[in-house]
Amino acid sequence: MTFGFKDKKPSRRQFLSGAAAVGAGAVAAGAARAAGPDPLITEVQDWASITGEGVDATPYGLPIKYEADVVRRNVPWLTADPISSINFTPIHALDGTITPQGCAFERHHSGAIEMRKRDYRLMINGLVDTPLVFTYEDLERFPRENHVYFCECAANTGMEWAGAQLNGAQFTHGMIHNMEYSGVTLRTLLEEAGLDAAGDLKDKWVYVEGADASSNGRSIPMEKALDDCLVAFKANGEALRKEHGYPVRLCVPGWEGNMWVKWLRRIEVTDQAVQSREETSKYTDTLADGTSRKWTWAMDAKSIVTSPSPQSPIKHGHGPLVITGLAWSGRGAIKRVDVSRDGGKTWETARLAAPGEKMALTRFYLDTEWNGEEMLLQSRAMDETGYVQPTKTQLREVRGENSIYHNNCIQTWWVQPNGEAENVEVS
């Protein structure tokens, strides 16, 4: 049985009461004051006249059709082909901190592959006492941990170096997601293989590699591998989606997304970095003098106002306004977020929805008033190391304009009197 509501066109009467409600909102804290009978209240609606769908209509639920625009989006001109490409999380439309897998950005170098759990093998080799191969079931028998971590592609905001470019938080800052992962620590698996053969662990590395055609491979210092890396097989409580590396991916908390190898197939203990393509010619920042920064793994503290923003304009009238956004740091927990409405001249400290957690997204709110004045909206994150998110000018002074990766500068949205917002740059 199918069941659908007719899309209701507002009657003239509704329109009038709706308009009156906007006026009332200006004085009465956003609550609509009754200005006449509202047919949505006084008339029996379709949804109260017939029954809804039964329990088995949707064995695995999808978002309601009215939210169909809250989806990942790609910018076709950025890459030559969608197989080796990226799309963006609709951060302008989400709230809280957890990213649903269904709209979490994807970055593939050779497309998202489909692998059965029974075909999954994970090899540990190199400088270990006993080279080992694990099946998926083997991994499930080690002690498990749960952690919420953000994963940010180093290229996030990379198009904005030269000037304001893409009009929406989804496109400027949407190469990020934040999920609760369940899995086994990399340390547990390395210790199972035994590290005596590696000798002094201080100068040792692990090389991690994916099973897809790109074999996306990265060298990770042993210290990080033994600290907090997680071999994950669940995200937000359910199996990883194929886009995110089903059945097993690596989480490298706080470090650039490229190191979070999906479809993880091999971990090799080595006595030097492999200097793979992904850690030399790619994911490296060229400075103004043509030299490159070496090993830029951690994602520096960053924040973004997700609403209001170009894709999330102010549609209500004057009066109460909730300004909200996200902050994160690859070097620890977020301690404070400030919001400016005048392009960085004055700042107000925002309310953190919950105390910042290490290497995870933090939601901030500024509960304020807006009466149609123009705003140059910015946010500025501070993390527990004392680091303060830089302005674009400060970042350019140090890094020049040849970079793509690791752009964590303060973003500006110009909010106009009609509530619409635009990506602009203030120096």
Ligand X SMILES: Nc1nc2c(c(=O)[nH]1)N[C@H]1C(S)=C(S)[C@@H](COP(=O)(O)O)O[C@H]1N2
Strands 264-270 and 122-126: parallel
Task: Using CB under 6 A, pick the residue from 173, 204, 262, 302 that binds ligand X.
Answer: 262
Bridge partner residues of 266 (DSSP): 123, 209
263 contacts ligand X (rule: CB under 6 A): yes
User: Rounded to the nearest whole angstrom, what is the least distance from the CB of residue 107 to Mo ion in the complex?
Assistant: 5
Distance from C-alpha of 301 to C-alpha of 334, rounded to nearest angstrom: 8
Indicate the residue among 110 and 349 with the shorter CB distance to ligand X.
110
Residue 263 interacts with, from Mo ion, ligand X, none (CB under 5-8 Å by kind):
ligand X
Show the tokens assigned to 215: 């074999």
Burial tier of 248 (Cβ tally within 10 Å: 0-12, 13-18, 19+): buried
In 3D, which of 128, 133, 82 has the Cα closest to residue 107? 82
Looking at residues 66 to 105 of the shown chain, list those that interact with ligand X (rule: CB under 6 A): 104-105
Residue of closest CB approach to ligand X: 210
Task: Using CB under 6 A, pick the residue from 257, 317, 325, 343 that binds ligand X.
Answer: 257
Residue of closest CB approach to Mo ion: 153
380 contacts ligand X (rule: CB under 6 A): no
Distance from C-alpha of 279 to C-alpha of 70, rounded to nearest angstrom: 33
Indicate the residue among 107 and 363 with the shorter CB distance to Mo ion.
107
356 contacts ligand X (rule: CB under 6 A): no
Indicate the residue among 27 and 83 with the shorter CB distance to Mo ion.
83
Residue 265 interacts with, from ligand X, Mo ion, none (CB under 5-8 Å by kind):
none
Distance from C-alpha of 257 to C-alpha of 107, rounded to nearest angstrom: 9
Q: Which residues of the chain form contacts with Mo ion (CB under 5 A)?
A: 107, 153, 257-258
Looking at residues 219 to 248 of the shown chain, list those that interact with ligand X (rule: CB under 6 A): 243-244
With beta carbons less than 8 A apart as the criterion, state whether 282 and 219 touch: no
358 contacts ligand X (rule: CB under 6 A): no
Q: With CB under 6 A as the contact rule, which of the stretches 142-150, 161-169, 212-220, 362-370 interacts with ligand X?
A: 212-220
With beta carbons less than 8 A apart as the criterion, state whether 129 and 384 touch: no
Largest distance between two CA atoms of the chain: 81
Q: With CB under 6 A as the contact rule, which of the stretches 37-45, 140-148, 209-217, 400-408 interacts with ligand X?
A: 209-217
User: Rounded to the nearest whole angstrom, what is the least distance from the CB of residue 156 to Mo ion in the complex?
Assistant: 8
Distance from C-alpha of 339 to C-alpha of 350, rounded to nearest angstrom: 6
Task: Using CB under 6 A, pick the residue from 185, 216, 403, 412 that binds ligand X.
Answer: 216
Torsion of the alpha carbons at 15, 20, 22 and 28, rounded to the nearest 10: -150
CA distances (Å), origin 260, targets 153, 209, 210, 220, 391 = 10, 10, 10, 11, 28
Q: What residues make contact with ligand X under the rule CB under 6 A? A: 104-109, 151, 153, 177, 210, 212, 214, 216, 243-244, 257-258, 260-263
